[in-house]
Amino acid sequence: MATIPEGFIIPDFGTTPPAVGDGTASAACASAGAGASSEFSGPRKISFICSKGNLDMAYPGLIMANAALGEGVQVNIFFTFWGLDIIHKKLNKKLRFTFAGNTAMHMPELGYVRPGLENVSFPQAMANLPGMTRFGTSYMKKAMAELGIPPVDEMVDLLEAAGANMYACKLTVDMMRLIEADLKGIKGVISATDFIELSEGGQIVFI
């Protein structure tokens, strides 16, 4: 590798050990990005546990996992309970979002109707009207698409291609009588114990 010239500012590319030059160079690196000065000890590792199958709860794990992969972090994802719907071929195109029970639901569009309405929590009594879940789902899908976020099934493909290690929870697969061939992108169906072993030395994020 070529040596980095003096005074050169280079972005933090993570797995690259900080350049060992003279004092000024490493100082520059240290100021450039957090962590660049810390001792290099192999790639970082994060494990996500996705346990929810609602559309709104499927995205956080996938997006964070994707961001982590882009940062060169090694990613494990463990899908358990309702989270298995995220990797289920026949269900992950049909994940839904409901207003019910979600008091943090506001609709920015309403602010254009009357200022202030955008900050009003969606009335729970209306959340269970017929068709509301369908409306909420398409509303959210549209909002995500506008931001350039792909649908859940494509996100899963993307993660698989980017090298995320994805696993399904054995207990849940047995309990819900899922057919393994319907689960996509996974490296295996493993038990919780296996997952704890796999995730050793990394952070665990439960969603």
Give whichever of 8 and 135 is closer to other proteins, judged by the CB atom. 8
Among the listed residues 131, 33, 53, the one whose alpha carbon sits nearest the alpha carbon of residue 93: 53
Q: Give the HSE-up count for residue 133: Cα atoms under 13 Å, Cβ half-sphere.
A: 11
Give whichever of 155 and 169 is closer to other proteins, judged by the CB atom. 155
d(CA 88, CA 90): 6
Give whichever of 182 and 194 is closer to other proteins, judged by the CB atom. 182
State the minimum distance, in angstroms, from the CB of residue 154 to other proteins.
8
Q: Taking each helix axis from N to C terminus, what angle separates 55-70 and 152-162, rounded to the nearest 10 degrees?
A: 20
Give whichever of 125 and 147 is closer to other proteins, judged by the CB atom. 147
What residues line the site for other proteins (CB under 8 A)? 1-2, 4-5, 7-16, 32-33, 43, 63, 66-67, 70-72, 89-90, 147-150, 155, 158, 161-163, 173-174, 177-182
Among the listed residues 44, 38, 34, the one whose alpha carbon sits nearest the alpha carbon of residue 18: 38
Pairing of strands 203-206, 165-169: unpaired
State the minimum distance, in angstroms, from the CB of residue 75 to other proteins.
12
State the minimum distance, in angstroms, from the CB of residue 45 to other proteins.
14
And the tokens for 93?
């195109």
Give whichever of 69 and 99 is closer to other proteins, judged by the CB atom. 69
And the tokens for 98?
């409901």
Give whichever of 62 and 105 is closer to other proteins, judged by the CB atom. 62
And the tokens for 191?
């038990």
State the minimum distance, in angstroms, from the CB of residue 184 to other proteins.
10
Q: Taking each helix axis from N to C terminus, what angle separates 132-146 and 55-70, rounded to the nearest 10 degrees?
A: 20
State the minimum distance, in angstroms, from the CB of residue 187 to other proteins.
15
Helix (H/G/I), strand (E/B), else coil: 153: helix
Among the listed residues 186, 185, 192, 187, the one whose alpha carbon sits nearest the alpha carbon of residue 171: 192
State the minimum distance, in angstroms, from the CB of residue 28 to other proteins.
9
